[in-house]
Amino acid sequence: MDDKPVDKEKILKELSEFHKLDYDYSDGRILGSMCTEAHPFAKEVYFKFLDTNLGDPGLFKGTKLIECEVIKSIGELLSIDNPYGHIVTGGTEANLMAIRAARNHARKYKGIIDGEIIVPESAHFSFKKAADMLNLKIVEAELDENYKTDVESVKKLISDKTVAIVAIAGTTELGLVDPIDEISKIALENNIYFHVDAAFGGFSIPFLRKIGFDLPVFDFSLPGVCSITVDPHKMGLAPIPAGGILFRKEEYLEVMAVDSPYLTVKTQSTIVGTRLGASSAATYAIMKYFGKEGYCNIIRNLMDNTIFFKEELEKLGYEVICEPELNIVAFNHPSIETNELAEKLGARGWKVSVAKCPVAIRIVLMNHIKLNHLKELLEDLKEIF
Ligand SMILES: Cc1ncc(COP(=O)(O)O)c(C=O)c1O
């Protein structure tokens, strides 16, 4: 730290030098991120609420009401009238809360001490962090030939130590939706907590279904589903950080509650103490601003781009891994090794990411990637071919 105060102009200049090293969403070169540039209106609102702290909701009663409204609105999208939950920092924290709720619930009501969670191979690595922090063992369910959770594998892995089953609505690597209705039945039959990670798909599948896309039900209308992660800062176009965790019953929050003596509330169930109210306010604003109609238009456009890109890739001779269900296309060159192809694209300024299961280039067609960017990318892919 400097000994003396530094002039604002100088600080801003220094910061902008750092900022210049960052990629900018508007260049259309960030091709592997599940985040995107937040809408300017959401950013404006975010700034207004920067000082609010939802960790102490008695001091910020209005902002707390906003959070409740946001959870209710997201709940409506996920077929539940009275959800319980919070706006948190992202999918990782949301998944951690869900698994913590499941573990504590199983400990309290079933006496399970050394628990296990059944998580598909395709799950986001946040579950590894959750298992590590919560002292749980991960048992990995296999994928079927379509890269979706194999239901038989889940059944086989259930034991008297299972505290939760996880399935994904919009996998990180391929954007696929698991057979959540079948897994919900299994979870119910075995009286096991079932969490759906819809961090990516939660803000698009409901709208895609509305405009006629043939996607399966993944939400609270399935009786086995106990909690859902859905991230406003991914497909919701809210500013980072904004994750969402919704629970079917209040008791899942209650089993995580600890006393919070010096605050305006007696207990706290969230992992984080001091918590941004700005994320809730910005999410509230952007959900109102777009409405269902706005989100339907955005996702329709993204799916048009996805299908265009996939078809053009095939025309060039690239091998597309699977039919896209959401706005992700994964592909390989018939002979160039995947990491080498990623390097070649990187050398041309494209920031692609490589999926692990199966190994493939993975392009997430977020809102900052426009048709002209895709055409430029296809030109480069044609030259590389
Ligand atoms: C399905 C899924 N779950 C969870 C996460 C973690 O979200 P975050 O990076 O916001 O913590 C991601 C991130 O991409 C994801 O795709």
pLDDT at 362: 97
- Ligand 1 center–CA 379 separation, angstroms: 31
Query: Could you tell which of 173, 176, 200, 228 is best to mutate to test the pocket of ligand 1, judged by most ligand atoms within 8 Å of the CB?
Result: 200
Query: CA-to-CA distance for 305 and 40, rounded, in angstroms?
Result: 23
Write out the two tokens for 280.
């809730």
- Ligand 1 center–CA 228 separation, angstroms: 13
* Averaged pLDDT, 71-83: 98
**Ligand 1 first shell, C-beta below 6 A:** 34, 90-92, 95, 124, 126, 168, 172, 197, 199-200, 231, 243
Q: Provide, rounded to the nearest whole percent, the portion of the chain with pLDDT above 90.
A: 99
- On whether the CB atoms of residues 246 and 206 are closer than 8 A, the answer is no
Sequence-distant (≥ 6) Cβ neighbours of residue 74 within 8 angstroms: 83, 85, 202, 230, 232, 244, 246, 287
- Ligand 1 center–CA 199 separation, angstroms: 6
Query: How far is CA 180 from its chain centroid?
Result: 16
pLDDT at 93: 98
Query: Could you tell which of 99, 231, 356, 366 is best to mutate to test the pocket of ligand 1, judged by most ligand atoms within 8 Å of the CB?
Result: 231
Q: Name the residue with the closest Cα to ligand 1, atom 6.
A: 91
pLDDT at 188: 98
CATH of domain 41-287: 3.40.640.10
| Residue 304 CB neighbours (<10 A) | 13
**Would you list the domain boundaries of the chain?**
8-39+292-384, 41-287
pLDDT digits (tens, 9 = 90+) for 4-57: 999 999 999 999 999 999 999 999 999 999 999 999 999 999 999 999 999 999
Sequence-distant (≥ 6) Cβ neighbours of residue 154 within 8 angstroms: 118, 120, 141, 165, 183, 186
Query: CA-to-CA distance for 255 and 27, rounded, in angstroms?
Result: 46
Question: pLDDT-derived band of residue 368, with 50, 70 and 90 as boundaries?
Answer: very high
pLDDT digits (tens, 9 = 90+) for 276-333: 999 999 999 999 999 999 999 999 999 999 999 999 999 999 999 999 999 999 999 9
pLDDT at 20: 96
CATH of domain 8-39+292-384: 3.90.1150.10
Give the nearest ligand 1 atom to 240 CA. 10
- Ligand 1 center–CA 346 separation, angstroms: 23
- Ligand 1 center–CA 127 separation, angstroms: 10
Give the nearest ligand 1 atom to 168 CA. 1
| Residue 241 CB neighbours (<10 A) | 20
- On whether the CB atoms of residues 215 and 180 are closer than 8 A, the answer is no
- Ligand 1 center–CA 123 separation, angstroms: 9
Mean residue pLDDT across the chain: 97
